[in-house]
Structure 1
Amino acid sequence: MKAIMRVLAASSLLASAAAAIAGQVVQVAAMQPVATDPVRTESGLLAGTQRDGGVRAYLGIPYAAPPVGDLRWAPPRAVAWSGVRNADRTGPECMQVLRPHDINHYFGEEAVSEDCLSMNIWAPAQASAAKLPVVVFLYGGGFTIGSSGMPNYGGAEIARRGAVFVNFNYRVGAFGFLAHPELSREQGGHSGNYALMDQIAALRWVKANIAAFGGDPDKVAIIGQSAGALSVASLIFSPEAKGLFRSAVMTSWCNYRDTLPTLAEGEAIGVAVQERLKAGSLAAMRALPADRILAIQSESQLGANVAGVRIGGPIVDGVVLPAQKAALLAAGRINRVPIIASSNTDDIDIAMSPFGKVTTLDAYRATARAAFGAEADAFLQRFPAASDAEAKAAARRVAHLGGFALASQQCAVDQAQVGQATYIDDFARKHPYTPGVRFADQDPATVGAYHTGDIPYWLGTLDVYNSLRRTRDWTPYDRSLATTMMDHLIAFARDGRPGAGWPAWSARDQRELVFGDGVAVRPLDTAGLAWLAAHPVARTPLVPRGSPRD
């Protein structure tokens, strides 16, 4: 076995050298063999690599067969290999537009491929006899971008704190969600939701194999951000995901009350895609190069501005999601797990609200009249302002309170209906930016506690943001806050509760935990939330011009 380890390490060094010769940016550390490898899984044997602090990393593990050829737009299939598979680097991201190098979330170029269904596992140096809690992260990105290979989604710090961490790639955009009449006939009456099927396949792989890495398959918490949070909500409502996790975290945002497209609506989009591609059949669509399909997909993230066909997001297909969430909830057909409903103070709900653009007192009053008509005076009494500064602050508060904050409370109400606990938090910490740092997609002076800004604290990946250039001047408090949030997350996986000091929501005791410049429990603004729930404001879909949503 030592001979095998030496060969694997040598092959890793040769691959890195070849990439450097080819002029690529190389961020892959040389393989450091793990003495206890290989790990035996149901798919085959794996050899990982040692990281700082003794963390064992197993990267780029296939959890399903490559979704190529006839498996493009097909449910994921089981995968197996012979011999020992070298797992020391992340796999390529699924088909998507690439990232500009001057945005906040650029951490180096990634390869992109349809052959992308891989996962990464980080485990403590020595697995104890007691099985460890498991945290599984699902990336966001508006369902059209995102990658488990992004270092800010890495799991080494979670592993150092005594849990096993998993993330994985799932198909996005047209490759992850395309429904089509021919596909439905081929697949027993349903199609689309391949991304959700990938997520379920990955969780099944974890359930079957995580014990080999020291994890407890019965203590799995899933956490998703943005589109990842909407994925988590879909998994909570999917009978296909039953028993695959014991707790769930949705950050930005928890949404149990959205109405999803139907299978017929999804199939109509699929036919429109076929027409745009000028393909005569499903076989012809599967024969096209992937970049042709990506080119006709609507995309407005990462600086792209493609006015194509909008493809991306779950649909009610009758199997993965058998009905609308409201109907499933009313029937009690929900995977009953405790949840954390989380949002950020300066989240994208502000940009989606007409109040998000308010900067003056006159604009605040005018927006109130346009939004609430005869109820505008009652609104202004509930949310008063007497100056431009007060109006701007009140408007942002209203936008968030009536957006993701209200959604978190509504999830808590819905969870209580099925006898499950909800823990609510609001992330309010602004990153300490390095003076003078600039990004193409955000202004550090005004961005606040932005969408995704909580993730490096939940996962302990603060230092990644300085890996290519210095962008943050992290303080001891930031590191302490990250430790606190990681410990809550690990406790949630281990116990189904996030630990001491974080009360569960109840109708009689509506409180949330605030992660800001301090950590404190505060009561929800129940009166304000009730008023905004009774007077919903029309929100515009976010179309980010140059801004990532992951």
Structure 2
Amino acid sequence: MWKARRVRRAFCFLDVRLKQSAQDQENDMLRTLAAAACALLMAGQAQAAGLAQARVAQGLLSAGPVEQGVTVFKGVPFAAPPVGPLRWRAPQAAAAWSGVRPADRFGANCMQKPIEGALGPWTPEYLAHGDISEDCLYLNVWTPAEGLGAKLPVMVWIPGGGFNQGSGSVPIYDGAGLARRGVVVVTVNYRLNAFGFMAHPQLTAEGQGASGNYGLQDQIAALQWVQANIAAFGGDPARVTVAGQSAGAASVHALLAAPAAKGLFHQAIAQSGSGMGSGGTPLAKAEQDGVRFAEGLGARTLAELRALPADKVLETPSGMRFAPIIDGRTVPADPTRPGNAVSDVPLLTGLTADESSGMNRSYGKSTPAELQTRLQTGFGALARQAGAIYRASSDADAGEASKRLSRDRGLAATWLWAQSRLQTSRQPVYAYLWTHVEPGPEEARYGAFHSSEMPYVFQTLAASPERPFTQEDRRISDQMAAYWANFIAKGDPNGQGLPTWPKVRAGSPVIMELGARPAPRPVLEPETLKLFQAYAEAGGGLSLF
């Protein structure tokens, strides 16, 4: 039965092409008849199976079976495949189709090097799986609505992964849990690494003054698609929250600063987060990197670059990184500076207690001498003041002090960023620190690691069957999902039965701690906050990592 469905799908949607011959007229007639037969076949199958359907600008979609009140449309094209001459070009409109297009399986992930097994604390449910292709501009929609007119709030989720990895089909991003709370959830793919963020002087000339940021343009195209089509899934295009974590959060800040994204969303969520300290690569530097990259591939022209096999393009040289660019057009200015935002919307942002634990092998390991060297190197003239706060007489003390220093730096970066934003924004900021430790491999080592709040927010603990979750974890997940659903619905995470989450206020160093016992708490001890304020005022750079 499954195999037969695949044969029918291939027959209808691989665009049967008959060879040209003297009988072109007859072939055209056959094509027309085949298309009509496909339309009737697929429509009949969808109706017979009782599958939900949605009509978008390109045609009619049929979802898989409804599960626990949620309908899922997977692998929906929001732009044309960026292949061949469309490689390193702005996304183009997706082609229309006739008949009913099955939307019951995820599209391919964008080009990336697959990761087998686990990566530090990130077990398989955190990672992308399945096919990898340049033909990857697909999105997925989870909806609890039964038809048009529901006007439910919408969350558009931008995956993380350092702009090198990730996908909208990562298991912990399953949107069913939030959908059961009345949210239409959309997860998107966007071009990664060199495919998504390579600039080059020839591309800049072709693009009339800008190049790179193709991945960000994909995100904008997905948001435009949502504005045009989400009502067909019961969503309200006037109530869209753009959200992401890590590189997804950096993307959110880039979208806040992107003129082309203005009006496409009305609230924003940046998990790990704000105050990251990385504002993007200047276009001139990105072009230089692109030239070196092309030379390394032996390509001298755009035609030669576009003719290279995708696997060859994926071979990024060591030390070269592709990420968002301050190109003067898509991103006109440093998006980490709140004053550069062109969209002023309510924002929920925060960090985890152990952001660096999965990225730094020496996290939490130090000797007193190594700690002192770190303080001298990091704080310079303020090292003595820092040494009075981060003291250690043993390796164990030094390890804990080193962890606290990393956490405090991230808290200071987040709070100072929020204080800066309040000077130019009329909209609220809700900030958090996630402290709950997800049970699992080496949990004592990794703590509340980078991205560990996401299965709780999405209510996807079941995607991690090997982790020994308890009823307490499920209770925390219910609470986290309720906060997020409330914010998506009304721009405020507070709601009935939840501990009050205060908005960030000017001069008030308070942040919401999320975990087993959610409650407001001081951002830092007064002397510690003064240290980081003095450091920032002296020109020191703060970041989450």
TM-score by length of structure 2 reads: 0.84
Partner amino acid, structure 1, of 2:113: V
Report if the CA contact (8 A) 1:31-1:49 is conserved: no
How do 1:338-357 residues align onto structure 2 when only pairs under 5 Å count? 338-348=346-356, 356=363
Report if the CA contact (8 A) 2:419-2:507 is conserved: no
Partner amino acid, structure 2, of 1:84: V
Deviation (angstroms), 1:161: 1.5
- Give yes or no for the alignment of 1:324 onto 2:334: yes
Partner amino acid, structure 2, of 1:391: A
Q: Which residue of 1 aligns with 2:221?
A: 201
Residues 3-44 of structure 1 deviation map (CA, whole Å, 9 limit, x = unaligned):
xxxx9996159889xxxxxxxxxxxxx999874732111121
- Give yes or no for the alignment of 1:494 onto 2:494: no
Correspondent of 1:42 among 29, 37, 57: 57
Deviation (angstroms), 1:463: 0.8
Correspondent of 2:472 among 459, 473, 477: 477
- Give yes or no for the alignment of 1:96 onto 2:102: no
Partner amino acid, structure 2, of 1:194: Y
Q: Which residue of 2 aligns with 1:509?
A: 508
Instruction: Indicate the structure (1 or 2) with the bigger Cα radius of gyration.
Output: 2
Report if the CA contact (8 A) 1:135-1:493 is conserved: yes
Report if the CA contact (8 A) 1:135-1:223 is conserved: yes
Deviation (angstroms), 1:310: 1.6
Correspondent of 2:5 among 11, 15, 18: 11
Alpha-carbon separation, structure 2, partners of 1:520 and 1:250: 20
Correspondent of 1:274 among 294, 297, 302: 294
Report if the CA contact (8 A) 2:277-2:541 is conserved: no
Deviation (angstroms), 1:389: 3.6
Correspondent of 2:275 among 255, 269, 272: 255
Give unpaired runs (5+ residues) of structure 1.
1-6, 17-29, 299-306, 438-442, 543-550
Partner amino acid, structure 2, of 1:87: A
Q: Which residue of 2 aligns with 1:3?
A: none
Partner amino acid, structure 2, of 1:90: F
Q: 1:88/1:353 Cα in 2 relative to 1: closer, same or farther (>3 Å)?
A: closer
Q: 1:476/1:230 Cα in 2 relative to 1: closer, same or farther (>3 Å)?
A: same
How do 1:102-181 residues align onto structure 2 when only pairs under 5 Å count? 102-103=118-119, 104-107=122-125, 109-124=129-144, 126=146, 129-181=149-201
Q: Which residue of 2 aligns with 1:187?
A: 207
Alpha-carbon separation, structure 2, partners of 1:213 and 1:65: 21
- Give yes or no for the alignment of 1:416 onto 2:426: no
Q: Which residue of 1 aligns with 2:31?
A: none
Residues 472-508 of structure 1 deviation map (CA, whole Å, 9 limit, x = unaligned):
1111111111111111111111111111411100124
Q: Which residue of 1 aligns with 2:343?
A: 335
Alpha-carbon separation, structure 1, partners of 2:412 and 2:220: 29
How do 1:397-546 residues align onto structure 2 when only pairs under 5 Å count? 397-402=404-409, 404-417=410-423, 418-433=425-440, 443-466=442-465, 470=466, 472-500=467-495, 501-525=500-524, 527=526, 528-535=528-535
Alpha-carbon separation, structure 2, partners of 1:257 and 1:364: 22
How do 1:191-230 residues align onto structure 2 when only pairs under 5 Å count? 191-230=211-250
Alpha-carbon separation, structure 2, partners of 1:33 and 1:504: 50
Deviation (angstroms), 1:393: 2.1
Residues 326-352 of structure 1 deviation map (CA, whole Å, 9 limit, x = unaligned):
7x754x652101111211101128967
How do 1:376-395 residues align onto structure 2 when only pairs under 5 Å count? 376-385=383-392, 387-395=394-402
Report if the CA contact (8 A) 2:77-2:137 is conserved: yes
Deviation (angstroms), 1:264: 1.6
Q: Which residue of 2 aligns with 1:289?
A: 309
Deviation (angstroms), 1:419: 2.1
Deviation (angstroms), 1:388: 4.2
Secondary structure of the equivalent of 1:534? helix
Report if the CA contact (8 A) 1:9-1:32 is conserved: no
Report if the CA contact (8 A) 1:233-1:256 is conserved: no
Alpha-carbon separation, structure 1, partners of 2:314 and 2:46: 34
Report if the CA contact (8 A) 1:34-1:47 is conserved: no
- Give yes or no for the alignment of 1:314 onto 2:315: no
Q: 1:64/1:339 Cα in 2 relative to 1: closer, same or farther (>3 Å)?
A: same
Secondary structure of the equivalent of 2:124? coil
Residues 376-406 of structure 1 deviation map (CA, whole Å, 9 limit, x = unaligned):
332233344455444322221111211x222
Residues 180-225 of structure 1 deviation map (CA, whole Å, 9 limit, x = unaligned):
1221222222110000000000011111111111111111112211
Q: Which residue of 2 aligns with 1:22?
A: none
Report if the CA contact (8 A) 2:355-2:449 is conserved: yes
Alpha-carbon separation, structure 1, partners of 2:478 and 2:356: 26
Residues 83-140 of structure 1 deviation map (CA, whole Å, 9 limit, x = unaligned):
2110000001011101112444324841000000000000015358541111111111
Secondary structure of the equivalent of 1:483? helix
Deviation (angstroms), 1:539: 8.3
Q: 1:539/1:275 Cα in 2 relative to 1: closer, same or farther (>3 Å)?
A: farther
Instruction: Decide which moves more: 189-198 or 42-51.
Output: 42-51
Partner amino acid, structure 1, of 2:77: P
Secondary structure of the equivalent of 1:115? coil
Deviation (angstroms), 1:274: 1.4
Alpha-carbon separation, structure 1, partners of 2:390 and 2:346: 33
Instruction: Decide which moves more: 143-152 or 507-516.
Output: 507-516
Alpha-carbon separation, structure 2, partners of 1:44 and 1:352: 48
Instruction: Decide which moves more: 340-349 or 447-456.
Output: 340-349
Alpha-carbon separation, structure 1, partners of 2:488 and 2:476: 19
Stretches (4+) displaced over 4 A: 7-10, 12-16, 30-34, 127-130, 349-354, 384-388, 536-542
Partner amino acid, structure 2, of 1:449: A
Residues paired across the two proteins, number:
497
Report if the CA contact (8 A) 2:51-2:66 is conserved: no
Deviation (angstroms), 1:445: 3.7
Alpha-carbon separation, structure 2, partners of 1:70 and 1:113: 16
TM-score by length of structure 1 reads: 0.83
Secondary structure of the equivalent of 1:86? strand
**Cα RMSD (Å) of the superposition?**
2.9
Instruction: Decide which moves more: 30-39 or 238-247.
Output: 30-39
Q: Which residue of 2 aligns with 1:72?
A: 87
Residues 230-273 of structure 1 deviation map (CA, whole Å, 9 limit, x = unaligned):
01110011111101111111111213754422222111111111
Q: 1:311/1:83 Cα in 2 relative to 1: closer, same or farther (>3 Å)?
A: farther
Deviation (angstroms), 1:318: 1.4
Report if the CA contact (8 A) 2:142-2:175 is conserved: yes
Deviation (angstroms), 1:53: 0.4
Deviation (angstroms), 1:68: 0.4
Q: 1:188/1:377 Cα in 2 relative to 1: closer, same or farther (>3 Å)?
A: closer
Partner amino acid, structure 2, of 1:493: I
Give unpaired runs (5+ residues) of structure 2.
11-44
Partner amino acid, structure 1, of 2:343: N
Report if the CA contact (8 A) 1:32-1:51 is conserved: no
Alpha-carbon separation, structure 2, partners of 1:121 and 1:370: 48
Q: 1:130/1:9 Cα in 2 relative to 1: closer, same or farther (>3 Å)?
A: farther
Q: 1:509/1:34 Cα in 2 relative to 1: closer, same or farther (>3 Å)?
A: farther
Alpha-carbon separation, structure 1, partners of 2:47 and 2:384: 67
